[in-house]
Structure 1
Amino acid sequence: MPSEHNPTLPHRPPEPAVRLEAVTKTYGRGHGAVTALREVTLQVTRGSFTAVMGPSGSGKSTLLHCAAGLDRATSGTVRLGGTDLTGLGETALTRLRRTRAGFVFQAFNLIGSLTVEQNITLPLRLAGRPADRALLAEVVDRVGLTGRTAHRPARLSGGQQQRVAIARALITRPDVVFGDEPTGALDTVTAREVLALLRETADTTGQTVVMVTHDPVAASYADTVVFLADGRVADTLGSPAADTVAARMTTLGARS
Protein backbone atom coordinates (compact mmCIF):
# COMPACT_ATOMS: atom_id res chain seq x y z
CA MET A 1 0.00 0.00 0.00
CA PRO A 2 1.61 3.29 -1.04
CA SER A 3 2.49 5.83 1.62
CA GLU A 4 0.35 8.92 1.87
CA HIS A 5 3.53 10.97 1.93
CA ASN A 6 5.21 11.22 -1.47
CA PRO A 7 8.73 12.64 -1.08
CA THR A 8 8.97 13.23 -4.83
CA LEU A 9 6.28 15.92 -4.72
CA PRO A 10 7.74 19.41 -4.20
CA HIS A 11 6.56 21.34 -1.15
CA ARG A 12 4.38 24.26 -2.25
CA PRO A 13 4.38 27.32 0.00
CA PRO A 14 0.94 28.62 0.92
CA GLU A 15 -0.62 31.15 -1.42
CA PRO A 16 0.01 34.72 -0.19
CA ALA A 17 -3.07 36.44 1.22
CA VAL A 18 -2.45 39.42 -1.07
CA ARG A 19 -0.10 39.66 -4.03
CA LEU A 20 0.56 42.66 -6.26
CA GLU A 21 2.78 42.23 -9.30
CA ALA A 22 4.03 45.31 -11.20
CA VAL A 23 0.91 47.27 -10.26
CA THR A 24 0.58 50.78 -11.66
CA LYS A 25 -2.40 53.03 -10.98
CA THR A 26 -2.90 56.24 -12.95
CA TYR A 27 -5.79 58.65 -12.50
CA GLY A 28 -6.83 60.82 -15.45
CA ARG A 29 -5.32 61.08 -18.90
CA GLY A 30 -2.92 63.21 -20.87
CA HIS A 31 -1.20 66.15 -19.22
CA GLY A 32 -3.51 65.96 -16.21
CA ALA A 33 -2.72 62.30 -15.45
CA VAL A 34 -1.46 61.47 -11.96
CA THR A 35 0.31 58.17 -11.29
CA ALA A 36 -0.33 57.08 -7.70
CA LEU A 37 1.40 53.67 -7.89
CA ARG A 38 4.40 52.78 -10.04
CA GLU A 39 5.24 49.13 -10.75
CA VAL A 40 4.53 47.99 -7.18
CA THR A 41 5.28 44.34 -6.40
CA LEU A 42 4.33 43.12 -2.94
CA GLN A 43 3.32 39.92 -1.15
CA VAL A 44 1.46 39.70 2.15
CA THR A 45 1.76 36.43 4.08
CA ARG A 46 -1.42 34.75 5.31
CA GLY A 47 -2.17 35.35 8.98
CA SER A 48 0.17 38.33 9.19
CA PHE A 49 -0.34 41.97 10.19
CA THR A 50 1.16 44.41 7.69
CA ALA A 51 1.29 48.19 8.08
CA VAL A 52 1.69 50.50 5.08
CA MET A 53 3.32 53.88 5.68
CA GLY A 54 4.65 56.79 3.67
CA PRO A 55 4.42 60.55 3.21
CA SER A 56 1.19 62.20 2.12
CA GLY A 57 0.60 61.39 -1.54
CA SER A 58 2.88 58.35 -1.54
CA GLY A 59 0.10 56.01 -2.68
CA LYS A 60 -0.81 54.30 0.62
CA SER A 61 -4.60 54.41 0.26
CA THR A 62 -4.41 53.66 -3.47
CA LEU A 63 -2.37 50.55 -2.69
CA LEU A 64 -4.96 49.44 -0.14
CA HIS A 65 -7.89 50.12 -2.47
CA CYS A 66 -6.30 48.21 -5.37
CA ALA A 67 -5.38 45.27 -3.12
CA ALA A 68 -8.93 45.09 -1.76
CA GLY A 69 -10.68 45.37 -5.10
CA LEU A 70 -12.13 48.79 -4.28
CA ASP A 71 -10.23 50.28 -7.21
CA ARG A 72 -8.78 48.76 -10.38
CA ALA A 73 -5.11 48.82 -11.24
CA THR A 74 -4.24 50.48 -14.54
CA SER A 75 -1.72 47.71 -15.22
CA GLY A 76 -0.22 44.77 -13.40
CA THR A 77 -1.85 41.94 -11.47
CA VAL A 78 -3.65 41.92 -8.12
CA ARG A 79 -4.50 38.64 -6.39
CA LEU A 80 -6.56 38.11 -3.26
CA GLY A 81 -5.58 34.61 -2.24
CA GLY A 82 -5.68 32.60 -5.45
CA THR A 83 -8.15 34.92 -7.18
CA ASP A 84 -6.92 37.29 -9.87
CA LEU A 85 -8.96 40.49 -9.48
CA THR A 86 -7.76 41.96 -12.76
CA GLY A 87 -10.33 40.33 -15.00
CA LEU A 88 -13.31 40.23 -12.64
CA GLY A 89 -16.46 42.12 -13.55
CA GLU A 90 -18.13 44.50 -11.12
CA THR A 91 -20.66 41.91 -9.90
CA ALA A 92 -17.93 39.36 -9.15
CA LEU A 93 -15.79 42.02 -7.47
CA THR A 94 -18.68 43.10 -5.28
CA ARG A 95 -19.36 39.49 -4.28
CA LEU A 96 -15.69 38.97 -3.45
CA ARG A 97 -15.51 42.11 -1.30
CA ARG A 98 -18.61 41.05 0.64
CA THR A 99 -17.31 37.59 1.43
CA ARG A 100 -13.50 37.61 1.44
CA ALA A 101 -12.52 41.13 2.49
CA GLY A 102 -13.39 43.20 5.55
CA PHE A 103 -12.97 46.97 5.78
CA VAL A 104 -12.29 49.36 8.66
CA PHE A 105 -11.86 53.06 7.92
CA GLN A 106 -11.08 56.20 9.90
CA ALA A 107 -14.73 57.21 9.61
CA PHE A 108 -16.75 54.50 11.34
CA ASN A 109 -19.40 54.50 8.57
CA LEU A 110 -22.13 53.19 10.85
CA ILE A 111 -25.82 53.64 10.07
CA GLY A 112 -27.38 55.66 12.90
CA SER A 113 -30.87 54.21 12.50
CA LEU A 114 -29.60 50.63 12.97
CA THR A 115 -28.65 48.93 16.21
CA VAL A 116 -25.13 47.70 16.89
CA GLU A 117 -26.16 44.17 15.95
CA GLN A 118 -27.82 45.34 12.74
CA ASN A 119 -24.73 47.34 11.78
CA ILE A 120 -22.49 44.34 12.43
CA THR A 121 -24.62 41.95 10.38
CA LEU A 122 -25.24 44.39 7.51
CA PRO A 123 -22.67 42.76 5.18
CA LEU A 124 -24.42 39.43 5.63
CA ARG A 125 -27.81 40.92 4.78
CA LEU A 126 -26.36 42.61 1.70
CA ALA A 127 -24.94 39.25 0.63
CA GLY A 128 -28.25 37.48 1.30
CA ARG A 129 -26.74 35.29 4.02
CA PRO A 130 -28.25 34.55 7.44
CA ALA A 131 -26.31 35.52 10.53
CA ASP A 132 -24.62 32.69 12.39
CA ARG A 133 -25.73 33.46 15.95
CA ALA A 134 -22.79 31.65 17.53
CA LEU A 135 -20.30 33.53 15.36
CA LEU A 136 -22.08 36.82 16.06
CA ALA A 137 -21.86 36.22 19.81
CA GLU A 138 -18.17 35.29 19.47
CA VAL A 139 -17.33 38.41 17.44
CA VAL A 140 -19.31 40.69 19.75
CA ASP A 141 -17.50 39.24 22.75
CA ARG A 142 -14.10 39.52 21.06
CA VAL A 143 -14.55 43.24 20.37
CA GLY A 144 -15.92 43.92 23.86
CA LEU A 145 -19.48 44.88 22.94
CA THR A 146 -21.44 42.28 24.90
CA GLY A 147 -24.54 43.92 26.34
CA ARG A 148 -24.51 46.77 23.83
CA THR A 149 -25.87 45.09 20.70
CA ALA A 150 -29.29 46.75 21.05
CA HIS A 151 -27.81 50.26 21.32
CA ARG A 152 -27.74 52.80 18.50
CA PRO A 153 -24.31 54.15 17.47
CA ALA A 154 -25.10 57.58 18.98
CA ARG A 155 -25.07 55.99 22.44
CA LEU A 156 -21.52 54.68 21.99
CA SER A 157 -18.13 56.31 22.40
CA GLY A 158 -15.84 56.73 19.39
CA GLY A 159 -13.81 53.71 20.44
CA GLN A 160 -16.93 51.59 20.80
CA GLN A 161 -18.14 52.70 17.37
CA GLN A 162 -14.84 51.63 15.84
CA ARG A 163 -15.22 48.28 17.61
CA VAL A 164 -18.61 47.92 15.89
CA ALA A 165 -16.87 48.64 12.57
CA ILE A 166 -14.26 45.97 13.31
CA ALA A 167 -16.95 43.46 14.25
CA ARG A 168 -18.74 44.28 10.99
CA ALA A 169 -15.48 43.60 9.14
CA LEU A 170 -15.03 40.23 10.89
CA ILE A 171 -18.58 38.87 10.68
CA THR A 172 -18.17 37.43 7.17
CA ARG A 173 -14.99 35.56 8.21
CA PRO A 174 -12.97 37.44 5.57
CA ASP A 175 -9.55 36.28 4.43
CA VAL A 176 -8.16 39.81 4.80
CA VAL A 177 -9.17 42.78 6.95
CA PHE A 178 -8.13 46.07 5.32
CA GLY A 179 -7.80 49.14 7.55
CA ASP A 180 -7.35 52.69 6.23
CA GLU A 181 -6.17 54.84 9.17
CA PRO A 182 -8.54 52.91 11.51
CA THR A 183 -7.24 54.72 14.61
CA GLY A 184 -6.95 58.18 13.06
CA ALA A 185 -10.03 59.56 14.81
CA LEU A 186 -9.35 57.98 18.21
CA ASP A 187 -7.54 59.15 21.33
CA THR A 188 -4.27 57.46 22.24
CA VAL A 189 -5.65 55.00 24.80
CA THR A 190 -8.60 53.95 22.64
CA ALA A 191 -6.36 53.68 19.57
CA ARG A 192 -4.10 51.22 21.38
CA GLU A 193 -7.10 49.11 22.40
CA VAL A 194 -8.25 48.95 18.77
CA LEU A 195 -4.73 48.11 17.57
CA ALA A 196 -4.48 45.32 20.14
CA LEU A 197 -7.77 43.97 18.79
CA LEU A 198 -6.42 43.96 15.23
CA ARG A 199 -3.22 42.29 16.47
CA GLU A 200 -5.31 39.63 18.23
CA THR A 201 -7.30 39.06 15.03
CA ALA A 202 -4.15 38.09 13.16
CA ASP A 203 -2.77 36.03 16.04
CA THR A 204 -5.85 34.03 17.02
CA THR A 205 -7.99 33.65 13.88
CA GLY A 206 -5.36 33.33 11.18
CA GLN A 207 -6.94 36.20 9.30
CA THR A 208 -4.66 38.68 7.57
CA VAL A 209 -4.63 42.38 8.47
CA VAL A 210 -3.35 45.11 6.14
CA MET A 211 -3.45 48.61 7.63
CA VAL A 212 -2.53 52.02 6.26
CA THR A 213 -1.33 54.36 9.01
CA HIS A 214 0.73 57.50 9.54
CA ASP A 215 1.44 56.63 13.18
CA PRO A 216 4.71 54.83 14.07
CA VAL A 217 3.17 53.51 17.29
CA ALA A 218 0.29 51.98 15.32
CA ALA A 219 2.77 50.48 12.86
CA SER A 220 4.71 48.87 15.72
CA TYR A 221 1.77 46.49 16.29
CA ALA A 222 2.39 44.94 12.85
CA ASP A 223 4.72 42.12 11.83
CA THR A 224 6.00 44.08 8.86
CA VAL A 225 5.95 47.72 7.76
CA VAL A 226 5.97 48.53 4.06
CA PHE A 227 7.18 52.06 3.28
CA LEU A 228 5.99 53.83 0.13
CA ALA A 229 7.47 56.92 -1.50
CA ASP A 230 6.39 58.45 -4.81
CA GLY A 231 4.18 55.47 -5.55
CA ARG A 232 6.92 52.88 -5.12
CA VAL A 233 7.93 50.46 -2.36
CA ALA A 234 10.92 52.22 -0.78
CA ASP A 235 11.65 49.80 2.06
CA THR A 236 10.25 47.10 4.34
CA LEU A 237 10.89 46.59 8.03
CA GLY A 238 10.23 43.45 10.06
CA SER A 239 9.48 43.31 13.80
CA PRO A 240 9.12 47.09 13.87
CA ALA A 241 9.64 49.26 16.94
CA ALA A 242 7.95 52.67 17.00
CA ASP A 243 11.22 54.63 17.25
CA THR A 244 12.75 52.69 14.35
CA VAL A 245 9.67 53.28 12.21
CA ALA A 246 9.71 57.01 13.05
CA ALA A 247 13.40 57.27 12.20
CA ARG A 248 12.86 55.54 8.86
CA MET A 249 9.98 57.89 8.01
CA THR A 250 12.17 60.96 8.58
CA THR A 251 14.76 59.72 6.06
CA LEU A 252 12.31 58.20 3.58
CA GLY A 253 12.53 60.99 1.03
CA ALA A 254 16.30 61.17 1.21
CA ARG A 255 16.89 57.42 0.83
CA SER A 256 14.18 56.53 -1.66
Structure 2
Amino acid sequence: MSVPIGQYENGPVAVRVEQLTRVYGTDRQRVSALAGVDAAFRRGTFTAVMGPSGSGKSTLLQTAAGLDRPTSGRVWLGETELSGLSETKLTKLRRDRIGFIFQAFNLLGALTVEENIVLPSRLAGTRVDRAWLAEVVHRVGLTERLTHRPAELSGGQQQRVAIARALVTRPDVIFCDEPTGALDTQTAADVLGLLRSLVDAHAQTVVMVTHDPVAASYADRVLVLADGRIVQDLPQPGAVRIAEVLGSLGRRRTMQGADS
Protein backbone atom coordinates (compact mmCIF):
# COMPACT_ATOMS: atom_id res chain seq x y z
CA MET A 1 0.00 0.00 0.00
CA SER A 2 1.45 3.37 -0.99
CA VAL A 3 1.75 6.15 1.59
CA PRO A 4 0.05 9.44 0.68
CA ILE A 5 2.62 12.14 -0.04
CA GLY A 6 2.98 14.40 2.98
CA GLN A 7 1.39 11.98 5.47
CA TYR A 8 2.93 9.00 7.24
CA GLU A 9 1.56 7.12 10.26
CA ASN A 10 1.56 9.73 13.04
CA GLY A 11 1.32 12.95 11.10
CA PRO A 12 2.68 15.27 8.42
CA VAL A 13 6.05 14.40 6.94
CA ALA A 14 8.90 16.78 6.23
CA VAL A 15 10.97 14.36 4.14
CA ARG A 16 10.26 10.92 2.72
CA VAL A 17 12.39 8.53 0.67
CA GLU A 18 11.03 5.52 -1.17
CA GLN A 19 13.06 2.54 -2.44
CA LEU A 20 16.16 4.73 -2.53
CA THR A 21 19.28 3.26 -4.15
CA ARG A 22 22.64 4.85 -4.84
CA VAL A 23 25.32 2.99 -6.78
CA TYR A 24 28.81 4.33 -7.39
CA GLY A 25 31.46 3.13 -9.82
CA THR A 26 31.45 1.06 -12.99
CA ASP A 27 30.10 -2.42 -13.68
CA ARG A 28 33.41 -3.97 -12.63
CA GLN A 29 33.69 -1.95 -9.42
CA ARG A 30 30.15 -1.15 -8.35
CA VAL A 31 29.55 -0.02 -4.78
CA SER A 32 25.97 0.01 -3.55
CA ALA A 33 25.79 2.77 -0.91
CA LEU A 34 21.99 2.53 -0.56
CA ALA A 35 20.01 -0.60 -1.35
CA GLY A 36 16.28 0.19 -1.37
CA VAL A 37 15.79 2.45 1.65
CA ASP A 38 12.30 3.52 2.76
CA ALA A 39 12.07 6.17 5.47
CA ALA A 40 9.93 9.10 6.55
CA PHE A 41 10.87 11.97 8.83
CA ARG A 42 7.90 13.63 10.50
CA ARG A 43 7.69 17.37 11.01
CA GLY A 44 8.78 18.58 14.42
CA THR A 45 10.95 15.55 15.21
CA PHE A 46 14.65 14.88 15.74
CA THR A 47 16.05 11.78 14.01
CA ALA A 48 19.59 10.44 14.33
CA VAL A 49 21.04 8.29 11.55
CA MET A 50 23.81 5.90 12.59
CA GLY A 51 25.79 2.96 11.32
CA PRO A 52 29.30 1.67 10.67
CA SER A 53 31.65 3.40 8.26
CA GLY A 54 30.40 2.73 4.73
CA SER A 55 26.89 1.85 5.89
CA GLY A 56 25.29 4.55 3.73
CA LYS A 57 24.26 7.06 6.40
CA SER A 58 25.93 10.10 4.80
CA THR A 59 24.67 9.03 1.37
CA LEU A 60 21.14 8.85 2.78
CA LEU A 61 21.48 12.38 4.13
CA GLN A 62 22.91 13.73 0.87
CA THR A 63 20.21 12.16 -1.31
CA ALA A 64 17.37 13.10 1.05
CA ALA A 65 18.66 16.68 1.12
CA GLY A 66 18.91 16.92 -2.66
CA LEU A 67 22.71 17.23 -2.61
CA ASP A 68 23.08 14.01 -4.60
CA ARG A 69 20.77 12.31 -7.11
CA PRO A 70 19.79 8.72 -6.28
CA THR A 71 20.40 5.96 -8.80
CA SER A 72 16.76 4.97 -8.39
CA GLY A 73 13.91 5.63 -6.01
CA ARG A 74 12.16 8.85 -5.03
CA VAL A 75 12.58 11.67 -2.52
CA TRP A 76 9.88 14.09 -1.33
CA LEU A 77 10.30 17.31 0.58
CA GLY A 78 6.77 17.80 1.86
CA GLU A 79 4.70 17.26 -1.28
CA THR A 80 7.49 18.15 -3.71
CA GLU A 81 9.18 15.24 -5.46
CA LEU A 82 12.82 16.08 -6.07
CA SER A 83 13.46 13.78 -9.03
CA GLY A 84 11.31 15.93 -11.30
CA LEU A 85 13.23 19.12 -10.59
CA SER A 86 15.89 20.65 -12.83
CA GLU A 87 19.25 21.50 -11.26
CA THR A 88 18.23 25.16 -11.12
CA LYS A 89 14.97 24.41 -9.31
CA LEU A 90 16.70 21.90 -7.02
CA THR A 91 19.29 24.52 -6.06
CA LYS A 92 16.52 27.00 -5.27
CA LEU A 93 14.65 24.42 -3.20
CA ARG A 94 17.76 23.63 -1.15
CA ARG A 95 18.39 27.34 -0.61
CA ASP A 96 14.83 28.18 0.39
CA ARG A 97 13.57 25.09 2.23
CA ILE A 98 16.53 23.13 3.59
CA GLY A 99 19.12 24.05 6.22
CA PHE A 100 22.54 22.41 6.46
CA ILE A 101 24.89 22.05 9.43
CA PHE A 102 28.20 20.23 9.00
CA GLN A 103 31.15 19.27 11.20
CA ALA A 104 33.19 21.98 9.48
CA PHE A 105 31.53 25.27 10.33
CA ASN A 106 32.13 26.69 6.82
CA LEU A 107 32.26 30.30 8.00
CA LEU A 108 34.03 33.07 6.10
CA GLY A 109 36.73 34.59 8.28
CA ALA A 110 36.53 38.02 6.66
CA LEU A 111 32.84 38.39 7.54
CA THR A 112 31.21 39.18 10.87
CA VAL A 113 28.84 36.79 12.61
CA GLU A 114 25.83 38.65 11.22
CA GLU A 115 27.27 38.76 7.72
CA ASN A 116 27.92 34.99 7.82
CA ILE A 117 24.38 34.30 8.99
CA VAL A 118 22.70 36.32 6.25
CA LEU A 119 25.16 35.37 3.48
CA PRO A 120 22.86 32.77 1.82
CA SER A 121 20.07 35.36 1.58
CA ARG A 122 22.46 37.94 0.16
CA LEU A 123 23.73 35.50 -2.46
CA ALA A 124 20.15 34.62 -3.40
CA GLY A 125 19.25 38.29 -3.71
CA THR A 126 16.43 38.00 -1.18
CA ARG A 127 15.53 40.50 1.52
CA VAL A 128 16.57 39.62 5.05
CA ASP A 129 13.70 39.62 7.55
CA ARG A 130 15.34 41.65 10.32
CA ALA A 131 12.78 40.68 12.98
CA TRP A 132 13.23 36.98 12.21
CA LEU A 133 17.02 37.40 12.14
CA ALA A 134 16.92 38.97 15.60
CA GLU A 135 14.79 36.09 16.91
CA VAL A 136 17.11 33.45 15.41
CA VAL A 137 20.19 35.17 16.84
CA HIS A 138 18.52 35.31 20.24
CA ARG A 139 17.60 31.62 20.04
CA VAL A 140 21.19 30.57 19.47
CA GLY A 141 22.62 32.97 22.04
CA LEU A 142 24.64 35.20 19.72
CA THR A 143 23.00 38.61 20.27
CA GLU A 144 26.18 40.03 21.80
CA ARG A 145 28.47 38.53 19.14
CA LEU A 146 27.07 39.86 15.87
CA THR A 147 30.04 42.12 15.10
CA HIS A 148 32.68 39.51 15.97
CA ARG A 149 34.68 37.57 13.38
CA PRO A 150 34.75 33.75 13.46
CA ALA A 151 38.36 33.75 14.74
CA GLU A 152 37.14 35.57 17.85
CA LEU A 153 34.64 32.82 18.69
CA SER A 154 34.94 29.43 20.35
CA GLY A 155 34.16 26.28 18.38
CA GLY A 156 30.74 26.03 19.98
CA GLN A 157 29.95 29.64 19.13
CA GLN A 158 31.04 29.08 15.53
CA GLN A 159 28.70 26.10 15.29
CA ARG A 160 25.91 28.29 16.68
CA VAL A 161 26.58 30.72 13.84
CA ALA A 162 26.20 27.81 11.40
CA ILE A 163 22.92 26.82 13.09
CA ALA A 164 21.62 30.40 12.86
CA ARG A 165 22.59 30.49 9.18
CA ALA A 166 20.60 27.30 8.64
CA LEU A 167 17.57 28.69 10.48
CA VAL A 168 17.37 32.15 8.97
CA THR A 169 15.65 30.93 5.79
CA ARG A 170 12.90 29.21 7.85
CA PRO A 171 13.73 25.74 6.43
CA ASP A 172 11.32 22.83 6.35
CA VAL A 173 14.10 20.59 7.66
CA ILE A 174 17.67 20.89 8.92
CA PHE A 175 20.15 18.19 7.88
CA CYS A 176 23.21 17.80 10.12
CA ASP A 177 26.31 15.76 9.26
CA GLU A 178 28.37 15.09 12.41
CA PRO A 179 27.63 18.61 13.74
CA THR A 180 29.46 18.04 17.04
CA GLY A 181 32.38 16.00 15.71
CA ALA A 182 34.84 18.89 16.08
CA LEU A 183 33.63 20.00 19.53
CA ASP A 184 34.62 19.04 23.07
CA THR A 185 32.14 17.10 25.20
CA GLN A 186 30.57 20.04 27.04
CA THR A 187 30.32 22.24 23.96
CA ALA A 188 28.82 19.35 22.00
CA ALA A 189 26.20 18.92 24.74
CA ASP A 190 25.34 22.62 24.51
CA VAL A 191 24.89 22.45 20.73
CA LEU A 192 22.82 19.25 20.93
CA GLY A 193 20.69 20.83 23.63
CA LEU A 194 20.09 23.77 21.30
CA LEU A 195 19.03 21.47 18.45
CA ARG A 196 16.74 19.61 20.86
CA SER A 197 15.14 22.88 21.98
CA LEU A 198 14.53 23.91 18.36
CA VAL A 199 12.52 20.71 17.90
CA ASP A 200 10.64 20.90 21.21
CA ALA A 201 9.90 24.62 21.38
CA HIS A 202 9.70 25.54 17.70
CA ALA A 203 8.64 22.31 15.93
CA GLN A 204 11.78 22.31 13.77
CA THR A 205 12.60 19.07 11.93
CA VAL A 206 16.17 17.81 12.38
CA VAL A 207 17.87 14.83 10.71
CA MET A 208 21.38 14.22 12.05
CA VAL A 209 24.08 11.78 10.97
CA THR A 210 26.32 10.88 13.91
CA HIS A 211 28.62 8.11 15.13
CA ASP A 212 28.19 9.11 18.79
CA PRO A 213 25.57 7.25 20.90
CA VAL A 214 25.43 10.16 23.35
CA ALA A 215 24.66 12.62 20.54
CA ALA A 216 22.05 10.24 19.14
CA SER A 217 20.37 10.00 22.56
CA TYR A 218 19.12 13.58 22.09
CA ALA A 219 16.95 12.36 19.19
CA ASP A 220 13.36 11.11 19.24
CA ARG A 221 14.33 8.22 17.00
CA VAL A 222 17.47 6.46 15.78
CA LEU A 223 17.78 4.81 12.37
CA VAL A 224 20.65 2.34 12.14
CA LEU A 225 22.03 1.50 8.69
CA ALA A 226 24.23 -1.39 7.61
CA ASP A 227 25.26 -2.24 4.06
CA GLY A 228 22.94 0.39 2.62
CA ARG A 229 19.82 -0.79 4.43
CA ILE A 230 17.96 0.24 7.57
CA VAL A 231 18.43 -2.59 10.06
CA GLN A 232 17.01 -0.89 13.17
CA ASP A 233 14.42 1.82 13.75
CA LEU A 234 14.59 2.69 17.46
CA PRO A 235 12.27 5.16 19.21
CA GLN A 236 14.12 7.12 21.95
CA PRO A 237 16.49 4.27 22.77
CA GLY A 238 18.97 6.13 25.00
CA ALA A 239 22.77 6.08 24.75
CA VAL A 240 23.26 2.67 26.39
CA ARG A 241 20.80 0.89 24.11
CA ILE A 242 22.27 2.63 21.04
CA ALA A 243 25.77 1.51 22.01
CA GLU A 244 24.52 -2.06 22.51
CA VAL A 245 22.91 -2.13 19.06
CA LEU A 246 25.99 -0.72 17.34
CA GLY A 247 28.26 -3.08 19.26
CA SER A 248 26.15 -6.08 18.29
CA LEU A 249 26.18 -4.96 14.67
CA GLY A 250 29.95 -4.57 14.74
CA ARG A 251 30.44 -8.05 16.21
CA ARG A 252 28.15 -9.56 13.57
CA ARG A 253 30.11 -7.89 10.76
CA THR A 254 33.38 -9.16 12.27
CA MET A 255 32.06 -12.71 12.44
CA GLN A 256 30.79 -12.53 8.86
CA GLY A 257 34.22 -11.32 7.74
CA ALA A 258 35.90 -14.21 9.54
CA ASP A 259 33.55 -16.74 7.93
CA SER A 260 34.04 -15.42 4.39
Q: 1:17 aligns with which of 14, 17, 20?
A: 14
1:100 touches 1:175 (CA, 8 Å); kept in 2? yes
The answer for the alignment partner of 1:5 in structure 2 is: none
Residue type of the alignment partner of 2:230: V
The answer for the alignment partner of 2:225 in structure 1 is: 228
DSSP 3-state at the match of 1:31: coil
Q: Distance between the aligned counterparts of 2:93 and 2:121, measured in 1?
A: 13
The answer for the alignment partner of 1:135 in structure 2 is: 132
The answer for the alignment partner of 1:75 in structure 2 is: 72
Which 10-residue stretch deviates more, 12-21 or 188-197?
12-21
Deviation, 1:203, is 1.2
Alignment of 1:3-14 (within 5 A): 14=11
Q: 2:115 aligns with which of 107, 114, 118?
A: 118
- TM-score of the two chains, using structure 2 as the length reference: 0.92
Which 10-residue stretch deviates more, 12-21 or 26-35?
12-21
Residues 92-131 of structure 1 show CA distances to partners (whole Å, capped at 9, x for unaligned) of: 0100000110000000000111110010011111221111
1:145 has 2:142 as partner:
yes
Q: 2:88 aligns with which of 44, 69, 91?
A: 91
The answer for the alignment partner of 1:211 in structure 2 is: 208
Q: Distance between the aligned counterparts of 2:87 and 2:24, measured in 1?
A: 19
Which 10-residue stretch deviates more, 209-218 or 199-208?
199-208
Residue type of the alignment partner of 1:251: S
1:164 has 2:161 as partner:
yes
Q: Distance between the aligned counterparts of 1:158 and 1:184, measured in 2?
A: 11
Q: 1:44 aligns with which of 32, 41, 44?
A: 41
1:29 has 2:26 as partner:
yes
The answer for the alignment partner of 1:238 in structure 2 is: 235
1:15 touches 1:82 (CA, 8 Å); kept in 2? no
Structure 1 vs Structure 2 CA RMSD: 1.3
Q: How many residues align?
A: 245
Q: 1:101 aligns with which of 98, 101, 108?
A: 98
Structure 2 residue runs of 5 or longer lacking an equivalent are: 1-6
Residue type of the alignment partner of 1:104: I
Deviation, 1:177, is 0.4
Alignment of 1:46-65 (within 5 A): 46-65=43-62
Residues 111-153 of structure 1 show CA distances to partners (whole Å, capped at 9, x for unaligned) of: 1111100100111112211111111111111111111101110
Q: Distance between the aligned counterparts of 1:158 and 1:192, measured in 2?
A: 13
Residues 165-212 of structure 1 show CA distances to partners (whole Å, capped at 9, x for unaligned) of: 000000000000000000000000000000011111111221200000
Structure 1 residue runs of 5 or longer lacking an equivalent are: 1-11
Q: Distance between the aligned counterparts of 1:228 and 1:36, measured in 2?
A: 10
Residue type of the alignment partner of 1:242: A
Q: Distance between the aligned counterparts of 2:64 and 2:28, measured in 1?
A: 27
DSSP 3-state at the match of 1:121: helix
Percent identity (aligned): 65
Deviation, 1:156, is 0.5
Which 10-residue stretch deviates more, 14-23 or 162-171?
14-23
